[in-house]
């Protein structure tokens, strides 16, 4: 998959995740006892397709989405290469570069 397509698809996935969060906040406003709605099955399917298309054998996409919270935790959780150099992980562009660099 080329970089432009990957970035576009990841941006849409992140947007859908944000919309899901906003929907849950709105329902919680109407009913404080409301728990949440999850579109996890669809999300899992999309993530698996992206991982397959990118040959992401090290699960960087999942790590970036969930552990790094779409890059928001990149300052707290550092990724280092084999020489100990910190690898940027804040943006989708950074994610693409990590996946393409098979030496990390």
pLDDT digits (tens, 9 = 90+) for 44-96: 999 999 999 999 999 999 999 999 999 999 999 999 888 889 999 999 999 99
- Determine what percent of the chain falls in helix, strand and coil, rounding each to the nearest 5: 60, 5, 40
pLDDT of 102 > 70? The answer is no
**Residues 13 and 51 sit within 8 Å (Cβ to Cβ):** no
What would the two tokens of residue 59 be? 């699960």
- Residues written for the chain: 104
Read off the pTM: 0.87
pLDDT of residue 76: 94
Per the structure, how many domains does the chain have?
1
Domain range for 53: 3-100
Q: Which helix (H) or strand (E) holds 37?
A: none
Distance CA 62, CA 10 (A): 11
């Amino acid at each position: 998959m080329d970089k432009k397509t990957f970035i576009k698809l990841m941006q849409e996935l992140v947007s859908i995740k944000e919309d899901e969060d906003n929907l849950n906040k709105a329902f919680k406003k109407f009913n404080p006892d409301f728990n949440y709605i999850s579109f996890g099955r669809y999300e899992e399917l999309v993530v698996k397709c992206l991982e397959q298309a990118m040959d992401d054998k090290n699960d960087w996409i999942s790590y970036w989405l969930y552990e790094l919270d779409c890059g928001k935790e990149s300052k707290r959780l550092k990724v280092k290469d084999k020489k100990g150099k910190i690898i940027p992980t804040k943006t989708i562009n950074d994610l693409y570069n990590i996946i393409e660099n098979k030496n990390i």
